[in-house]
Amino acid sequence: MTKGISQAILISKSLFWIIVLPGTVTVYLPHLIATRWSPTAFPGWGNWQLFALIPIGIGAAVLLHCIWGFAAVGRGTLSPVDPPKKLVVKGLYRYVRNPMYVGVVTILLGETLLFQSLALLEYALVAFVAFNLFVILYEEPTLRDQFGESYEHYCRRVGRWLPGKRYSEGG
Fold of 2-157: Four Helix Bundle (Hemerythrin (Met), subunit A) (1.20.120)
Mean pLDDT by 10 residues, the chain (171 residues): 70 79 89 75 77 96 92 83 88 94 97 91 97 96 94 93 75 52
Q: What is the dihedral of CA 16, 88, 85, 78, to 10 degrees?
A: -20
Angle, helices 99-115/118-134, rounded to nearest 10 degrees: 170
Cα 136 from chain centre: 15
- For the entire predicted model, the pTM comes to 0.87
pLDDT in tens, 133-154: 999 999 999 999 999 999 999 9
Where along the chain do its domains lie?
A: 2-157
Beta strands in 27-110 (DSSP E): none
- Contact assessment for residue 127 and residue 108, using Cβ atoms and an 8 Å cutoff: yes
Number of H helices, E strands in the chain: 7, 0
Query: Quick one: pLDDT at residue 46?
Result: 82
